[in-house]
């Protein structure tokens, strides 16, 4: 399970960075989304995967009897998902506006050279 | 000591922002509320500063969960100084915005966003939890995204894309670092991390994680080679917004670097070398970038990059003297950079341009105002006894003690170029005769009533007075910087205040 997840995270990061360095605006956004998901999976993996033992204390006990799944990574991922959702919503609107203003999906058409100097 | 009042700077901004949302279209009331709230914050953060100065570290455990299980807020002298500086800049910017920002922008939620941004900054300075720091960073960037693109002019949108992409990338890298750190230690509390990271035998893994944090914070604080987003976006928003960005947003990255690299990852030879190399390159590229620009705001943007190098150099040298220099520079830089962007806005109001070749003869038209602006410019260069001069002495002393002659060279070159650029600005904008043949621009500043003029100039005067105090009362600022540097070199009071005296066994 860990190996599969590790490969998946590697693929997500690699694909995300590859998409970000492309020239298209939409691919930039897709890259950011993939990277964000990769980071979330990484938190999930590094928080140790414990199968079938939810962090719930039985009614008759006061402490956990055995190893339990760490609930914190899930709280972190949830926070990160909500934040990245908001940011991506903003980024989509911004990209749409860029497309309206610039009539181009190509990053090289932003700030032409005469304006740069 | 536990004290719940330390989150007051955060809560006040949150409350103000929420109240301002109810006055969405009423610009007059919004302006008054914003200025009043910021005045209250200046007072309350000054109180916080004096209390931490006299009594040491205050903590607050959110929801009364004991550290390291809950989210901790910590106010030591470093945090409270940053909160005080944020409040001062916030106050100046809010006054300036009252006339400096167009009504149309105000009606699209300028003031609520400004307060959300300041709330995020204060939260980032006060938090003692690494994931919570990430959340505050996100609050900062999302409000700054909207502030940057508010208005939707073409250059703004184009600058916005670069800004958004770079900052989202930085967040992901920061989050990756947090994930690995959590996997290694099982903790998120910075004080707890400080203890646990020191016990991990695999130092290479720690160094790699530290590099992830360095890159994440490096993008935010615009160090070489991660600064390229800054000069291509900071010149686009209105001056008041650029002032908050220039003064505070990169400095929150520097704050995070200083905090994380003294508390969690104590620099070893490798990290220290990396930091110094980065600082040297930042100083040089920032300076070289600034001399070829012909637009006041772009020059200032490159100078922000250049001057971040001083602070990172101090961190790389990692001695008490060096950190004192860094912190003194940080205090000075926040005030001066905020003020310079406000000044650039004033120049734009008067001349209708911020291009060097089209400006001119400002001194002939407004001698008193020009002298005020000159004071700010010369503070930035650090003509003794003005404020930029003193931190460099500490940095020199530390660099000589460590025999880091490359850093000394870079500091000298960067200071020299800053001086050259300031002289060029003075000659081009203030002294030279206004060029003929350029379309005459009506002087918007001159046509304002006294009330409007006062609101534009007062914040500049206010910040200039603070800068003068930093320069002339350098003794006091040096005392504060030395105190903070000692706090950073020996974080045990911080850790003990958060976790209690008992050492938790890992």
Judge whether B45 lies within some domain: no
Pairing between β-strand B58-61 and β-strand B72-75 as defined by DSSP bridges: antiparallel
CA B485, CA B497: separation in Å to the nearest integer? 18
Judge whether B348 lies within some domain: yes
**What residue of A is the nearest CA neighbor of B178?**
A43
Q: Indicate yes or no: CB of B188 within 8 angstroms of CB of A70.
A: no
Is any Cβ of chain B less than 8 angstroms from the Cβ of A9? no
The answer to whether the CB of B369 falls within 8 A of the CB of B353 is no
CA B381, CA B130: separation in Å to the nearest integer? 35
Judge whether B377 lies within some domain: yes
Residues in CB range of B405: below 8 A, 6 or more apart: B399
The string of pLDDT tens digits covering residues A60-77 is 878 777 778 888 888 999
The answer to whether the CB of B181 falls within 8 A of the CB of B208 is no
The string of pLDDT tens digits covering residues B376-417 is 999 988 888 888 889 999 999 999 998 989 999 999 999 999
Averaged pLDDT score across all residues of chain A:
85
- Given a cut of 80, is residue B344 above it in pLDDT? yes
Put residue A52 in one of left, alpha, beta given phi > 0 → left and psi -120 to 50 → alpha.
left
Of B76-85, B92-101, B118-127, B133-142, the least confident = B92-101
CA A55 to the chain's CA centroid: 25
The answer to whether the CB of B184 falls within 8 A of the CB of B203 is no
Residues of B whose CB is below 8 A from A93: none
Of B131, B164, B188, the CB nearest to A91: B164
The answer to whether the CB of B235 falls within 8 A of the CB of B290 is no
Is any Cβ of chain A less than 8 angstroms from the Cβ of B158? yes
**Percentage with pLDDT > 70 across chain B:** 98
The pLDDT, as a whole number, for residue B234 is 85
Judge whether B162 lies within some domain: no
Distance to chain B for A113, nearest Cα, Å? 12
The answer to whether the CB of B80 falls within 8 A of the CB of B45 is yes
| Structural domain total, chain B | 1
Is any Cβ of chain A less than 8 angstroms from the Cβ of B168? yes
Q: Indicate yes or no: CB of B176 within 8 angstroms of CB of A97.
A: no
The pLDDT, as a whole number, for residue A114 is 45
Residues of A whose CB is below 8 A from B165: 20, 28, 32
CA B67, CA B69: separation in Å to the nearest integer? 5
Judge whether B404 lies within some domain: yes
Is any Cβ of chain B less than 8 angstroms from the Cβ of A68? no
The interface predicted TM-score of the complex, written ipTM, equals 0.92
Query: What is the residue whose two structure tokens read 């109810």?
Result: B22
**What residue of B is the nearest CA neighbor of A103?**
B154
Q: Indicate yes or no: CB of A46 within 8 angstroms of CB of B182.
A: yes
The string of pLDDT tens digits covering residues B26-50 is 888 888 999 999 999 999 999 999 9
Q: Which of A23, A111, A116 to mutate to test the interface with B (most CBs of B within 10 A)?
A: A111
DSSP B123-191: HHHHB-BHHHHHHHHHHHHHHHHHHHHTT--HHHHHHHHHHHHHHHHHHHHHHHHHHHHHHHHS--BHH
The string of pLDDT tens digits covering residues B445-476 is 777 788 888 888 999 999 999 999 999 988 99
Taking residues B320-349, report their average pLDDT.
92
Judge whether B426 lies within some domain: yes
The pLDDT, as a whole number, for residue A1 is 82
Judge whether B322 lies within some domain: yes
Residues of A whose CB is below 8 A from B175: 39, 43, 80
Confidence of residue B63 (pLDDT cuts 50, 70, 90): confident
Structure-block tokens of residue B155: 């250059």
What CATH number should be reported for the domain whose range is A2-51+68-116? 1.10.287.3510
Is any Cβ of chain A less than 8 angstroms from the Cβ of B176? yes
Is any Cβ of chain B less than 8 angstroms from the Cβ of A25? yes
| HSE-up of residue B238 (Cα within 13 Å, Cβ side) | 24
- Long-range Cβ contacts of B60-66 (<8 Å, 24+ apart): B60/B2, B60/B3, B60/B4, B60/B6, B60/B7, B61/B2
Judge whether B320 lies within some domain: yes
Is any Cβ of chain B less than 8 angstroms from the Cβ of A101? yes
The pLDDT, as a whole number, for residue A59 is 81
Q: Which of A49, A69, A83, A112 to mutate to test the interface with B (most CBs of B within 10 A)?
A: A83
The string of pLDDT tens digits covering residues B77-117 is 999 999 999 999 999 999 998 888 888 888 888 999 999 99
- Given a cut of 80, is residue B235 above it in pLDDT? yes
Put residue B151 in one of left, alpha, beta given phi > 0 → left and psi -120 to 50 → alpha.
left
Domain enclosing residue B420, as ranges: 283-489
Q: Indicate yes or no: CB of B168 within 8 angstroms of CB of A32.
A: yes
């Amino acid at each position: 399970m860990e190996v599969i997840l590790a490969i998946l995270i590697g693929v997500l990061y690699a694909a995300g960075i590859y998409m970000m360095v492309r020239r298209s605006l939409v691919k930039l956004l897709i890259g950011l989304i993939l990277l964000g998901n990769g980071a979330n999976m990484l938190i999930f993996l590094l928080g140790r995967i414990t199968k079938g033992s939810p962090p719930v204390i039985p009614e008759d006990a006061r402490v956990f009897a055995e190893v339990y799944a760490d609930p914190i990574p899930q709280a972190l991922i949830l926070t990160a998902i909500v934040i990245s959702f908001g940011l991506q919503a903003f980024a989509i609107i911004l990209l749409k506006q860029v497309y309206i203003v610039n009539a181009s999906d190509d990053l090289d058409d932003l700030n032409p050279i005469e304006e740069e100097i | 000591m536990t004290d719940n009042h330390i989150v007051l700077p955060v809560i006040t901004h949150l409350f103000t922002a929420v109240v301002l949302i109810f006055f969405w279209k009423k610009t007059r009331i919004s302006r008054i509320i914003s200025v009043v709230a910021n005045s209250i914050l200046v007072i309350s953060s000054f109180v916080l500063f004096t209390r931490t100065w006299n009594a040491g570290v205050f903590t607050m455990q959110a929801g009364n969960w004991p550290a390291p299980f809950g989210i901790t807020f910590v106010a030591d002298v470093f945090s409270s100084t940053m909160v005080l500086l944020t409040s001062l800049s916030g106050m100046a910017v809010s006054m300036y915005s009252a006339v400096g920002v167009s009504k149309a922008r105000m009606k699209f939620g300028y003031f609520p966003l400004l307060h959300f941004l300041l709330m995020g900054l204060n939260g980032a300075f006060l938090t003692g939890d690494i994931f919570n720091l990430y959340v505050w960073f996100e609050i900062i960037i999302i409000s700054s995204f909207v502030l940057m693109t508010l208005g939707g002019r073409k250059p703004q949108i184009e600058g916005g894309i670069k800004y958004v992409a770079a900052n989202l990338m930085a967040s992901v890298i920061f989050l990756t670092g947090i994930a690995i750190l959590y996997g290694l230690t099982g903790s998120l509390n910075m004080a707890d991390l400080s203890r646990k990271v020191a016990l991990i035998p695999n130092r290479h893994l720690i160094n790699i994680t530290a590099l992830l944090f360095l890159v994440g914070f490096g993008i935010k604080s615009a160090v070489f080679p991660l600064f390229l987003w800054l000069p291509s976006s900071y010149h686009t928003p209105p001056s008041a917004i650029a002032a908050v960005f220039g003064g505070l947003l990169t400095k929150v990255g520097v704050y995070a670097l200083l905090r994380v690299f003294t508390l969690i990852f104590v620099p070893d030879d490798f990290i220290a070398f990396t930091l110094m190399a980065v600082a040297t390159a930042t100083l040089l590229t920032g300076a070289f970038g600034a001399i070829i620009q012909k637009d006041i705001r772009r020059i200032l943007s490159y100078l922000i990059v250049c001057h971040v190098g001083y602070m990172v150099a101090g961190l790389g040298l990692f001695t008490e003297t060096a950190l004192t220099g860094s912190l003194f520079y940080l205090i000075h830089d926040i005030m001066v950079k905020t003020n310079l962007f406000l000044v650039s806005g004033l120049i734009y109001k008067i001349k209708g341009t911020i291009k060097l070749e089209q400006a001119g003869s400002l001194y002939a038209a407004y001698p008193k105002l020009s002298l005020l602006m000159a004071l700010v410019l010369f503070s930035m260069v650090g003509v003794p006894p003005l404020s930029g001069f003193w931190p460099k002495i500490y940095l020199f002393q530390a660099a000589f003690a460590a025999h880091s002659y490359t850093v000394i060279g870079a500091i000298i070159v960067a200071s020299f170029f800053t001086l050259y650029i300031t002289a060029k600005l003075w000659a081009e904008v203030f002294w030279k005769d206004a060029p003929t043949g350029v379309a005459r621009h009506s002087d918007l500043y001159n046509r304002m009533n006294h009330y409007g003029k006062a609101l534009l100039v007062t914040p500049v005067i206010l910040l200039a007075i603070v800068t003068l105090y930093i320069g002339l009362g350098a003794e006091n600022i040096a005392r504060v910087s030395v105190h903070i540097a000692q706090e950073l070199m020996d974080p045990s009071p911080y850790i003990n205040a958060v976790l209690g005296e008992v050492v938790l066994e890992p």
